Structure 1
């Protein structure tokens, strides 16, 4: 990553850089150039959601209008609004910033437009706002209507964001269900459009549709049965080929759904299964070593308490933080211990230099004790210093009076006995 030398205020005597200084420098480096829209703002997300809603409406109404000859005032207004919105979206994406492979924010109309045009998304995005409706009255209107499928390519712009969202497994499974419903909807409209022989024998069936909704429901039910190896009555070669393709698509969809459900269930139960396995292996190990049941119960209680407090079975509560880079470790620990430092007077910037505070934060580590663990006894040499977390407490027992003083969320210091 390229470095910038930016003149700033005179540095402090300590020569250290606090996490706030790092964040301020990062904000300076993250400014976008003129005539460029930032790609990661809340306004851009809201616009992408609007485009997604229009695409979903297009997925629903375009096949219906072609397969069932559906037309309405709403559809006419929608066909005018949609190309306008997609045309605006085309230019928004052309002049939006982006992050390169090194994580640098790239802005500037020349660079963003060049990157967008060579990315491969410019052609489907351009075709997405092409005014297909102008050709509806021509002889090729039905064929041009199928070119609206290019608008579905715009879904991938948001799909990449959804895959990195929280609960990504649930999001991906929901997207898969949406794909299954969309495919069945498209196949139902296609069957109504291509099944000429089947349509001619509708009067011979026990159920005769009287409206477009009833006809769509019948086609959708036949398609669902077809993809599950229950084909309808066929009268033409085109219908037979279509049914064969439906059954092949059904096999693929069933395999995808079953695999996705299995992966989702496994991800739900993964951490719980690891915790249960740890408890079982701990009990077996204690039994093999001949540890008394009372002590073995305390050992199991340690892991139960560890799981309850950290949702992890690792004894090192800071294992995740220690995997990060040194600078990121400092920032993360600064955020975690910020409230604790505000409650401790001698850790303020008025009494200690930023370099000392930064070094102290880097050496802090989280240790979880059981409820009846003894930290230190009277007469022992204390060479460490501990801080009570926001959820923790420490009891001080006076052996002469058997009175216990409970400390909450403050400082708990152990100094050498000679002091």
Structure 2
């Protein structure tokens, strides 16, 4: 009884799993159209009754969105197998856990949304804390310590969203990148978040404490906590990167825009720091120092735009380590922020320089390897004392082969599967297939077989590709360049260019030797097809083989005609 029940469960499990893979995508990103019968759901959630209410459908859809998604790029990056992803999803459902998986669809959309929120928070909170933008007034806050409090509804909305983010974080699993592991236990998640550097700043900056006080000075002091949000700039960068990865946006322009935004936020924060420090002194000591740069420039009496531009001007001067006369400070707090700005600016400029140089070197890495290889080739030629014409030809070969960017083609190709090699060859030879009309008549299956077995070769000018009278074991397809056809007696017959093929005569006719000399007139790239593949491919298609045989007969007749004319002319000269 137990055996029958176990066998039935196993059979049902296997039968259900067949249905799950109908949703798997192919490498091209298209949905796999599975014709197998399937039972159940790919989410492993129980099916809803036909008369399910809207609330039931919503709860099921929400639960499904919190499970790990096989379409999330991070899922395959961590687990490398869709079977493993489905196993994790099944275990998540069976555990009845309410924890959100970090690689779920819900988390993906949530991070897209939070990318915008974190940008607004990181940009707006320091402005609110430093410039008191909402409470714009003619008499400066540095001159009026207590005033009637008004609240910014936009700031309140941001704080409420950030409080919601704290709750979502407690409900979301976290990853351990070194071990490629995802932790989904609630107690560990709570402990991990509380002990992180983000928890205390998140709580202090999210709670609207200043909305419950009536003193403007106290409100401003609480507002200074907004500067703790600077640690979330890394979170913004991470969320933005993941969003771009989900949408498969990997262009250089998107990276440049993202980096520019981060750099602008750095300048923005230091500009806010310039105005915040004098206010901290005022709230700490209750006095305005006449030597303060804020007081000397009458900054509080200006509008917000003027205040912000002046602060950006001072921050840029500090970050770029440029000293202006207007940047002279007398108070130790202002000197402290100036020192911090100078030091950070030095480190920041050095960091940017290293990043830019690294990008440039990575782009030119293959060129550097190419010239290193050329140096080795030159040393080889010098040691072997090769003649100058041979040295020139050897350098021409390397220049044409690598186009000044060296790469190890064999080591790259050796790691690929035969299927992928065939697809690459088909793509590389797409122009050749278009130019060679004969290949265009081949069925797709035979065409792939031919392309996979084509062997690329490069011939320099005046190289003999085929020698008359030799045994023919292959034919050639001319991808680029020009070759000349000569009879054995040395009479030039014609030129062949891109898309031409030659050498087929000795393959079509049994025991037939090469009937002409084929010589490269310039650097030529050809693809060689062996006799065995030729027989398996072209002889399988009688119509194509007959067409090839007709071409071979015509070329053979033309060559023979030139030979006959040459022999007749030679005999007449002898007589």
Coarse TM-score class (shorter-chain normalised): 0.5 to 0.7
Seen in structure 2, the aligned counterparts of structure 1 residues 156 and 189 have a Cα distance that, compared at 3 Å, is same
Match of 2:128, SS state, is helix
Match of 2:412, SS state, is helix
Seen in structure 2, the aligned counterparts of structure 1 residues 345 and 393 have a Cα distance that, compared at 3 Å, is farther
What is the rounded CA distance, in whole Å, between the counterparts of 1:264 and 1:320 in structure 2?
Answer: 23
Seen in structure 2, the aligned counterparts of structure 1 residues 269 and 24 have a Cα distance that, compared at 3 Å, is closer
Match of 1:261, SS state, is helix
Show the 5 A alignment for 1:302-321: 302-308=397-403, 312-314=405-407, 317-321=409-413
What is the rounded CA distance, in whole Å, between the counterparts of 2:462 and 2:318 in structure 1?
Answer: 65
Aligned to 1:377: 467
Aligned to 1:16: none
TM-aligned CA deviation for residue 256 of structure 1: 0.8
Seen in structure 2, the aligned counterparts of structure 1 residues 27 and 179 have a Cα distance that, compared at 3 Å, is farther
Q: Which protein is bigger by CA-based radius of gyration?
A: 2
TM-aligned CA deviation for residue 345 of structure 1: 4.3
1:323 aligns with 2:411: no
TM-aligned CA deviation for residue 407 of structure 1: 5.5
Preserved CA contact (<8 Å) 1:322 1:329: no
The answer for unaligned runs of 5 or more in structure 1 is 9-19
Show the 5 A alignment for 1:237-256: 237-256=332-351
What is the rounded CA distance, in whole Å, between the counterparts of 1:92 and 1:411 in structure 2?
Answer: 65
Preserved CA contact (<8 Å) 2:112 2:243: no
Match among 269, 275, 282 for residue 186 of structure 1: 269
Seen in structure 2, the aligned counterparts of structure 1 residues 172 and 79 have a Cα distance that, compared at 3 Å, is same
TM-aligned CA deviation for residue 67 of structure 1: 0.8
TM-score calculated relative to the size of structure 2: 0.51
Seen in structure 2, the aligned counterparts of structure 1 residues 112 and 287 have a Cα distance that, compared at 3 Å, is same
Match of 1:242, SS state, is helix
Match of 1:282, SS state, is helix
What is the rounded CA distance, in whole Å, between the counterparts of 1:218 and 1:242 in structure 2?
Answer: 16
CA displacement 1:327-350 (0-9 Å, x = unmatched): 65455446555786793545644x
Match of 1:375, SS state, is strand
What is the rounded CA distance, in whole Å, between the counterparts of 1:94 and 1:319 in structure 2?
Answer: 46
Aligned to 1:269: 364
Preserved CA contact (<8 Å) 2:114 2:239: no
Aligned to 2:226: 145
What is the rounded CA distance, in whole Å, between the counterparts of 1:388 and 1:32 in structure 2?
Answer: 51
Match among 298, 305, 310 for residue 213 of structure 1: 305
What is the rounded CA distance, in whole Å, between the counterparts of 2:315 and 2:343 in structure 1?
Answer: 12
Deviates more, 1:332-341 or 1:232-241: 332-341
CA displacement 1:131-165 (0-9 Å, x = unmatched): 94844423564155345456532431333677997
Seen in structure 2, the aligned counterparts of structure 1 residues 156 and 225 have a Cα distance that, compared at 3 Å, is same
Show the 5 A alignment for 1:274-313: 274-308=369-403, 312-313=405-406
What is the rounded CA distance, in whole Å, between the counterparts of 1:7 and 1:165 in structure 2?
Answer: 33
Aligned to 1:11: none
TM-aligned CA deviation for residue 253 of structure 1: 0.9
TM-aligned CA deviation for residue 284 of structure 1: 4.8
Aligned to 1:61: 124
Aligned to 1:406: 496
Q: Please tell me the root mean square deviation across aligned C-alpha atoms, in Å.
A: 5.4
TM-aligned CA deviation for residue 323 of structure 1: 2.8
TM-aligned CA deviation for residue 282 of structure 1: 3.4
TM-aligned CA deviation for residue 192 of structure 1: 0.4
Match among 216, 224, 231 for residue 316 of structure 2: 224
Seen in structure 2, the aligned counterparts of structure 1 residues 348 and 234 have a Cα distance that, compared at 3 Å, is closer
What is the rounded CA distance, in whole Å, between the counterparts of 1:148 and 1:217 in structure 2?
Answer: 22
TM-score calculated relative to the size of structure 1: 0.66
TM-aligned CA deviation for residue 221 of structure 1: 1.9
Deviates more, 1:154-163 or 1:181-190: 154-163
Match of 1:241, SS state, is helix
What is the rounded CA distance, in whole Å, between the counterparts of 2:170 and 2:426 in structure 1?
Answer: 37
Seen in structure 2, the aligned counterparts of structure 1 residues 50 and 166 have a Cα distance that, compared at 3 Å, is same
Match among 246, 249, 257 for residue 352 of structure 2: 257
Aligned to 1:155: 237
What is the rounded CA distance, in whole Å, between the counterparts of 2:229 and 2:274 in structure 1?
Answer: 19
Deviates more, 1:134-143 or 1:240-249: 134-143
Seen in structure 2, the aligned counterparts of structure 1 residues 381 and 44 have a Cα distance that, compared at 3 Å, is farther
Aligned to 2:565: none
Seen in structure 2, the aligned counterparts of structure 1 residues 112 and 404 have a Cα distance that, compared at 3 Å, is farther
TM-aligned CA deviation for residue 66 of structure 1: 1.4
Aligned to 1:80: 157
